[in-house]
């Protein structure tokens, strides 16, 4: 199985169904950005609208779009999974990256895309490339930092996305949802179970509404436990 047009359109259908806030999101294979500096060794990544530099957006199907992008890396996904499990791998990376792009206001007005055509020159491209390479090399904030990329808020979002995909009839596995950054966490299914009541109750809520409510105590106590594992391990590494 490959990341062909049919699988990509399936990915779009799922994301639009389970997170309408992401309508318009681009979902593309990493080959679209061949030659640009991109995060190495990963199964996928997300690019927020404000990071859509000219050299990225010009490679998208609608190059004037200001929608965010989910990039899937089929070769890395295939390395991590058998051929039969390739589709499952794509689904888990898809939900993981979608969670990085949430929450976002539903009624956010679209900003007119700026006209970058006059900037289309080698010097600008080189500078953008250098800036992105530096951003990629920055260490990820600790999981309990306010700006954590893979903190408990992300974990909660990805569980909601998984649950909605299941409620909508898609057979999406929990394995791989958290990605490698959550090595210190319990199994994915445990997080889903700790959020079970709100996964059902808030299934029609926007992600902004979800984040305005307190998560279940069980979920937060699992998170505190996971964090202590993280710090215990990190302590032995220094």
User: Which residues of the shown chain bind Zn ion in the complex (CB under 5 A)?
Assistant: 179
> Shortest distance, CB of residue 145 to Zn ion, whole angstroms?
15
Distance CA 51, CA 55 (A): 11
Closer by beta carbon to Zn ion, 18 or else 70: 70
> Shortest distance, CB of residue 43 to Zn ion, whole angstroms?
9
SS3 label, residue 159: helix
Residue 39 DSSP one-character state: -
Residue facing Zn ion at closest CB distance: 179
Closer by beta carbon to Zn ion, 145 or else 200: 145
> Shortest distance, CB of residue 204 to Zn ion, whole angstroms?
25
> Shortest distance, CB of residue 146 to Zn ion, whole angstroms?
17
> Shortest distance, CB of residue 5 to Zn ion, whole angstroms?
25
Peptide bond into 103 cis (omega under 30): yes
DSSP string computed for 66-91: ---EEEE-HHHHHHHS-STTHHHHHH
Closer by beta carbon to Zn ion, 58 or else 88: 88
Closer by beta carbon to Zn ion, 54 or else 184: 184
Structure tokens, 149 = 């990329």
Q: Do the Cβ atoms of 26 and 100 come closer than 8 Å? A: no
Closer by beta carbon to Zn ion, 93 or else 195: 93
Distance CA 108, CA 39 (A): 28
């Amino acid at each position: 199985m490959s990341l062909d047009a049919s699988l990509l359109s399936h990915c779009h259908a799922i994301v639009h169904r389970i997170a309408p806030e992401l309508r318009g999101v681009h979902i593309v294979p990493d080959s679209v950005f061949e030659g640009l500096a991109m995060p190495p060794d990963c199964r996928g990544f997300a690019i927020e609208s404000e990071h859509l530099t000219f050299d990225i957006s010009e490679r998208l199907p609608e190059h004037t779009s200001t929608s965010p992008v989910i990039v899937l890396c089929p070769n890395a996904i295939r390395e991590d999974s058998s051929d039969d499990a390739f589709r499952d791998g794509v689904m888990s990376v898809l939900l993981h990256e979608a969670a990085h792009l949430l929450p976002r206001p539903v009624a956010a007005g679209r900003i007119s895309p700026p006209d970058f055509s006059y900037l289309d020159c080698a010097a600008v491209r080189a500078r953008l490339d250098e800036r992105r390479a530096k951003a990629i090399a920055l260490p990820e904030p600790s999981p309990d930092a306010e700006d954590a990329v893979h903190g408990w808020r992300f974990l909660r979002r990805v569980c909601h996305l998984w649950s909605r995909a299941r409620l909508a009839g898609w057979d999406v596995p929990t394995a791989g949802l958290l990605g490698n950054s959550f090595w210190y966490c319990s199994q994915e299914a445990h997080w889903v179970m700790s959020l079970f009541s709100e996964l059902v109750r808030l299934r029609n809520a926007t992600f902004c509404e979800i984040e305005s409510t307190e998560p279940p105590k069980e979920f937060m106590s699992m998170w505190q436990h996971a964090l202590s594992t993280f710090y215990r391990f990190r302590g032995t590494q220094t």
